[in-house]
Amino acid sequence: MLLNAVDATNPNNADLADAVTVGDDVISHAALYQAATAFAATLPDAGPVAVCATPSMETIIAVTGCLLAGVPVVPVPPDSGVAERCHVITDSRATCWAGHAPEDAALPVLPVRRRPGATATASPAARMDDVAMILYTSGTTGPPKGVKLSHRALAAGIDALAHAWDWHPDDTVVHGLPLFHMHGLVLGVLASLRIGSRVAHTVRPRPTHYAATPGSMYFAVPTIWSRIAADPSSAQALRPARLLVSGSAPLPTTVFESLTGLTGRAPIERYGMSETMITLSTRADGERRPGWVGESLRGVETRLRADNGDTVPHDGHSIGRLDVRGPMLFDAYLNRPDATAAAWTSDGWFSTGDVAVCDPNGYHRIVGRESVDLIKSGGYRVGAGEIEAALLTHPAVREAAVVGHHDADLGQRIVAYIVPDDTQPAQHLADRLIDHVATSLSRHKRPRAVVFLDALPRNAMGKVQKSLLCT
C-alpha cells in the first residue's frame, strides 16, 4: 500500500508515538490509522472528497483516510477565493467536504475526529492504479487544471526520492509548507508515512519555528530559506541536520552560500511539477552546485530539444526544452483530454514547458518556464535566472525578477523588476544595476529597463508570478 507505515495489518511496523506532529498536536502511527479508518468508514460514496487543507492534524487524518479507502482526495487551499474554489469543486465533482469547510459550502460536510469513539475494522480498499489525489495547478495561464495522480505514481516518486536522499525511518522531516501542495503534503507528510520516518509541521514557516524543531531533514521554499539565512541564530540551529532541501522555485546563489556557511550544510535542490512529482535532484551523497538541480532520479529519463525538435547537446550551456518520462508521472488532466494530449509528445514524453541545460555528467540547471524565463532578444537566447542571479549579488537588491517584454526592434526587451534594499538610495540605482549586469555577464544580457517595486507578486509557495509582470 502507499502509506506503509500506517498499515496496521503489517506486523513489522513499529508504532512511533510521535509519528506526526503539527504544532503542539502529536499522534502515533496507530492512533492515526484508527482515526483515518474511522473517518474512511463514514465516506458516503466513491468521492472525490474535498479537503480544506489547513495546517492541522484534521487535514492529515482526512487525507490519510481517503487514501486508505481508495477515494480520491482533492486538497483545497484554505485561502482560495470563491471563484477558484467553485471551479475546483465543480471540475473535480467532489461529493463532500472533510472536516473544516468554507462557510458557503454547498456539499455535505463530514466530521473528522481526532479520537474516534470506535475503531473501524474495514480493510483498506485502495488499489495502486486507482486515482489517489487530484492536485490543481496554479492556474497562471487559465483555470487551474486537475492533475490525476495514482497511488502507484505517488509511491514511485516517493521511493525514488528515498533512494536519492538516503531517506530512512530514523529520519525526522521538519517543514512549514502548505498541505495543499506537492511539496508540503506529498513530500513532507505522505512520504514520511510511506517510509516510516517522523514528520513535524511547524504550522507557520518562521525561522524561529524551524530552529526550535529538531530534525534531520528540513524542507522549505527559497523565500523561507532566505528568511532563515537572514536570521543567523535560527540558521545555526539547523547545523545538526543532514539535509536542507529547497524547491518550488530557484534558490538564489547568495542564499545558497549563506546557508552553507551558517549551517555547514550545502542545500539540496530538486525539480518537479504537480504532473511529474520530483524527477531531478541532487543526491545526498552527490555534488551540490548553486543553481543546479542535480541528476535524474531512479527510473526517470530526460531529454533536451531545440525549437526544431533536434536534440540539444549536454554541454552545460546549450538551452533546450525539457521533456521527462518515468513511473511517477500523472495519468491525465481531469476533464481535459485536449490539455492532456498537448502535454505529451507523440513518442511518449511529457513536455514540462521548462527550458534547461545539462552537463556531460547529467547535472541539470533549470533556466525556467519557456513562456516567461527564456527571453529571445536581439537574436540571443537568454535565461532570466542568470540575470536575476547577477542582480542579487548587488548589495542594493533584495529581490529580482526578470522578464521579456515585446520590442519591435529586439523581439523581446529584457526588463528587471527590483525590490531594493531599504538602506540603499534609489537615485541612479537603475543605471548602476544595468551596468552591474553588463560587467558581470555579457553585455547583451543587460536589462534595458529597471522597474522598482515594494514586493514581487508571489503565489502561496513563494514562487514569483511572472505572468503578472508580463502584462
386: three-class secondary structure by DSSP: helix
E strands present in 344-392: 350-358, 364-369, 374-377, 380-383
Bridge partners, 414 (sequence order)? 404
For residue 367, pLDDT beyond 90: no
pLDDT of residue 175: 97
- 374-468 — its CATH code? 3.30.300.30
The residue ranges of every structural domain in the chain are: 4-192, 374-468
217: three-class secondary structure by DSSP: strand
Cα gap 60→390, rounded to integer Å: 41
> Which pairs with CB-CB distance under 8 Å and at least 24 residues apart come from 107-112?
107/50, 108/44, 110/39, 110/42, 110/43, 110/44, 110/49, 111/42, 112/35, 112/39, 112/58, 112/61, 112/62, 112/65
Cα gap 366→357, rounded to integer Å: 7
In this prediction, residues 144-152 reach a mean pLDDT of: 95
| Residue 251 region by backbone torsions, left for phi larger than 0, else alpha for psi between -120 and 50, else beta | beta
Length of the chain as a residue count: 471
In this prediction, residues 329-334 reach a mean pLDDT of: 97
252: three-class secondary structure by DSSP: coil
Cα gap 310→177, rounded to integer Å: 39
List, for residues 193-248, the tens digit of each pLDDT value. Answer: 999 999 999 999 999 999 999 999 999 998 899 999 999 999 999 999 999 999 98
List, for residues 278-311, the tens digit of each pLDDT value. Answer: 999 999 999 999 989 999 999 999 999 998 889 9
Q: Would you tell me how many other CB atoms lie within 10 Å of the CB of residue 317?
A: 9
Provide the whole-model pTM: 0.85
State which fold the 4-192 domain adopts: Rossmann fold (3.40.50)
Cα gap 393→412, rounded to integer Å: 24
Cα gap 265→260, rounded to integer Å: 5
